[in-house]
Structure 1
Amino acid sequence: MALLFLLLAVPTSPGAAFDAWQYPNDHKVVNVREANSISSYKAMISEVHSFGVRTSKYTEKGLPILARQTSTPKPDRWLMLELRGDGHDEIMLAIRNDNLYIEAFANSSGKWHTFANIRNLIPRATILPFKDSYRGLVNGHANLGTLELGKETTLRALHELAVYKQSVGADTSCVSRALAIMAVTFCEATRLRPIQDYILPKWLSGGATIQKPLYVVRWSDMSCAVLVARQKKGRYNGPEAVKLKDELGMTSLNEVVGALSLILWPKDNSCDSGPITWPRA
């Protein structure tokens, strides 16, 4: 059976029917178990990328700029990414259109869970005892390098989330780690080419790791570097450039552009180099 991608008007379980907080949205269904090739993993990433591009109005250096980030927990549009694994394992990830952050998940019974720092996002949701940052998920971005990535790891993480039921005093490290795996496998790999390149060759064999976790936390700086350079006639010499040169060895703007698949619109149009005058809402 081919890898399943569908754009649907209403979801299947989990979730049964969309609640008001979930609109507007795109709903995609992905069967991870049937992703039996490198090309099928690339197809999954392409679907998430297409969602981000759908609400993009601008490009720079051939790269789509995501929609302007809202100042509220609810974005202008959601991607409801329904993932199917082994047996009856199904989950739904609620992903923002303006930065591709995972803000909530539903287990196989359709019960929504969200994070401690956005507890008012979803009515009647279970509140997880950690925040939606990598510090909350794995005690800091550096620990992303300890995650083993690939198809089977993704399926195990999917299972952890599918069967998760919060109980008082229970260890939540498995579910937080599972969410980190989902974030890297689907979202970081969509934003950043090096992350996708780490995972692709080992999607089936497993054991992929992020060699430079700093790529993840410097996505905003990379995005700013490209937008600032547009204002400065191509110059790559601001505070963002200094960080990228020192920490990731990115000595040219072309290297930055080559690492990006999507550009993040800076919050409040603000970068370390100063305000961004383009794009404008």
Structure 2
Amino acid sequence: MTVHKKMKEWIYENRYKDPKDLEGYPDHPKLVEQQLEKKPPHWFIPILMGRGNKYTSLSFRSDNLYLSAFTNAKGELFSFKLENPLEFVVPGSRVLNFKSNYGDLVADGRAEGEQSWQYLADLRIDYDAVQDSVDVVSEYDPQTTPDRRIKRAVATLIVVFMESQRFPCIRQAVRDAWMSGGGKVKLGQRGAQLVVNWKRISCAVRIWDSMEDKGKWDSTEAKKLKQEPPAGLRIATPEEALCTIWPIVMGRCSY
């Protein structure tokens, strides 16, 4: 779990350091503002080891923690089809024919945005699944590796190593799965729904924090979160929201 610890330290060190921002909640770092058309202020590039000599490196942006690129064991660098043609592309990378969103990675285009949670729920997060995924990415060859195979592997690594930073309950689930010593463990419905609602939870917290009346939890985002699953997440208070996420992303909100 050393990678998880280093990721957490890196996220906190590269947070938005305005002391007035969420000043009552210093343990919840807010990321710097996203500028997707530019190179991020910092990269986090962990090297993940698979079985034998297999390995991969992943390139995560500091402004949204999204995966921008990965390498195979040959050192070939791959990035993803852009959501917007103006987005920054990692120099020297080969752009693949699929995007890095979960609708593409796990739903094969059958679902978009929040609806992709239905396909994420069955994603395995146990140690063997991670080792399998690293092996797939390490051996990746765009000419011979089926798209579905590489996409599933990439999604697994994103969830296990970065969604586990965004959501403490996913981090605990991953830790428990790895410490148990075996068995197939899936992300599950709650974890999957959290993953596709990071921006909404972040916005709800940011809007609430900007209000003079801290007793209100009634923004458009908060009202959606209060609904019962699967429409919402049953997050009825700002305190519950703060317990649900760790870093807060700077996305476009309803206010």
For the criterion TM > 0.5, the same-fold answer is yes
The one of 175, 186, 210 aligned to 1:209:
186
* Inter-partner Cα distance in structure 1 for 2:168 and 2:79: 28
Higher strand residue share: 1
- The residue aligned with 2:121 is 145
Q: What corresponds to 1:197 in structure 2?
A: 172
The reply on whether 1:156 has 2:102 as its aligned counterpart is no
Asked if structure 2 preserves the Cα contact closer than 8 Å seen for 1:153 and 1:206, the reply is: no
Partners of 1:84 and 1:130 in 2: CA distance: 24
Q: TM-score, normalised by structure 2?
A: 0.84
Specify which of 129, 132, 136 is matched with residue 104 of structure 2: 136
Shift of 1:53: 1.3
Name the SS of the counterpart of 1:92 in structure 2. strand
Q: Distance in 2 between matches of 1:97 and 1:153?
A: 26
Q: Following TM superposition, by how much is the alpha carbon of 1:124 offset from its aligned partner in structure 2, in angstroms?
A: 4.0
Q: Secondary structure at the match of 1:64?
A: coil
Corresponding residue to 2:201 among 190, 197, 222: 222
Deviations 1:199-228 (A, max 9, x none): 221123242222221101111111111111
| TM-score of the aligned structures, taking structure 1 as reference length | 0.76
Other structure's SS at 2:33 match: coil
C-alpha deviation, 1:148, in angstroms: 1.3
Alignment partner, residue 251 of structure 1: 236
Equivalent-residue separation in structure 2 for 1:71 and 1:152 (angstroms): 34
Structure 1 stretches of 4+ with a deviation exceeding 6 A read none
Aligned partner of residue 258 in structure 1, secondary structure: helix
Residues 1:47 and 2:6 are matched in the alignment: yes
With over 3 angstroms needed to count, the CA separation of the structure-2 counterparts of 1:188 and 1:249, relative to structure 1, is same
The 3-state SS of whatever aligns with 2:45 is strand
CA contact (8 A) 2:226 2:233 kept: yes
SS in 2 for 1:146: coil
1:110 aligned residue (64, 75, 84): 75
Indicate conservation of the 8 Å contact 1:52/1:98, yes or no. no
Distance in 1 (CA, whole Å) between partners of 2:80 and 2:32 is 23
Deviation of the 1:138 alpha carbon: 0.6
Please state how far the C-alpha of 1:71 moved relative to its aligned partner: 3.2
State the shift of 1:165 in Å.
Answer: 0.9
Task: Determine helix, strand or coil for the equivalent of 1:95.
Answer: strand
Deviation at 1:73, TM superposition (A): 5.3
Long gaps (5+) in structure 2? 108-115
The alpha-carbon distance between structure 1 residues 123 and 96, as it changes in their structure 2 partners (threshold 3 A), is: closer
Rate the CA distance shift 1:54–1:165 in 2: closer, same or farther, 3 A.
same
RMSD: 1.8
% identical aligned pairs: 25
- Which consecutive residues of structure 1, in runs of 5 or more, have no partner in the other structure? 1-40, 275-281
Q: 1:271 aligned to 2:246?
A: no
> Would you say the 8 A contact 1:70–1:76 is kept in 2?
no
- Displacement of 1:183: 0.5
1:110, distance to aligned residue in structure 2 (A)? 0.5
- 1:18-70 deviation line (CA, Å, top 9, x unaligned): xxxxxxxxxxxxxxxxxxxxxxx2x4222112111112114522311111111
Are 2:70 and 2:77, in contact at CA under 8 Å, matched by a contact in 1?
yes
Q: How many residues were matched structurally?
A: 228
Counterpart for residue 111 of structure 2: none
